[in-house]
Amino acid sequence: MNKTSDKVFDMMNKVKADSDIDMSRSYGFGDSDIHGTGTFASRDIDSKEIIGNAFYPKDKKMMRTKLGARVNHQFSNNSILKKDSENYNLYSTKEIKKGSEITANYKETPDFISKDTKGFKEKSEYK
């Protein structure tokens, strides 16, 4: 490798390590009918597919990614958090159509995540 390709490789690894940018482009952010800004499927997502990294450890604390910060609560959710190694990744629990909001049930998340569901509008399409 030459110096230019080494720099590109290093930059790509830094982006992956930052855990703040999802390279799969399976989601994007926008105005939500549920609450504030939400996370929406930018393509059809299969059941049990990894959507992206939501939390990662840093300095003995769990840090939230943009994905983790913008997934809204629904009791009839279409995604869950699963621990993979040290990270918590968001996985779909059913097929999610392009344009649909990606949601998680805050009551079924790890202890370091707030369980407060006040202010979130339950949508009938998820029931």
Residue range 69-88, pLDDT digits in tens: 999 999 999 999 999 999 99
Q: Looking at this protein, which amino acid is placed at residue 125?
A: E
**pTM for this prediction:** 0.76
CB atoms within 10 A of CB 106: 18
> What's the confidence (pLDDT) of residue 124?
66
Structure tokens at 68: 């983790």
Backbone angles phi, psi at 122, to 5 degrees: -75, 130
Which has the higher per-residue pLDDT, 53 or 115? Answer: 53
Domain 3-109, second-level architecture:
Beta Complex (2.170)
Judge whether 121 and 94 are in contact, CB under 8 Å.
no
